Amino acid sequence: MSLPHVFFTHRAYGPVHAILWWNKGYKDPLYLVTNVESVEQACDWYKKRFRIETFFSDQKSRGFYLNKSHLSDPLRLSRLMIAACLAYIWIVFLGALALSKGLHTFIHRTNRCDLSLFQLGLRFLNYLLNYELSIPVQFYQPVEARL
């Protein structure tokens, strides 16, 4: 069910769509408020949000703390975000490297791993820094030629 042209909050933000979305197996609907005009497209975007939520929390409260930068100038903020995204890729690489080489056992429990690649990478980087070990800086794994 969709209610188009709804205004939201006391400031009357909108118009927006208010969507009640029932999925099989769920007793209650999901309530979505969106500025996307197509209900189908809004629901498709919502399905993808779980893939990016960890990225946002890693950029903010569980990693780089960009929310505490107090930057308001869009150009400066965009530069900071570009640098943070490049660092994010590198940290994820470190996490993948630690996992693939079995080095995660030095930085996390051995019976199961419940950390994201980013969190593993941060812990691995911290471990390397604490023990003054060399830090890998490549963004790719060399591919061995197979004959």
DSSP track, 59-100: HTTTTT-GGGS----HHHHHHHHHHHHHHHHHHHHHHHHHHH
pLDDT band at 129 (very low <50, low <70, confident <90, very high): very high
Give me 71's structure tokens. 């930057």
Q: How many CB atoms lie within 10 A of CB 117?
A: 21
pLDDT given at position 139:
61
User: Between residues 88 and 108, which one has the greater pLDDT?
Assistant: 88
The ranges assigned to domains in the chain are 2-50, 66-130
Per-residue pLDDT of 15-53, as tens digits, reads: 888 898 888 888 898 898 888 889 899 999 988 888 788
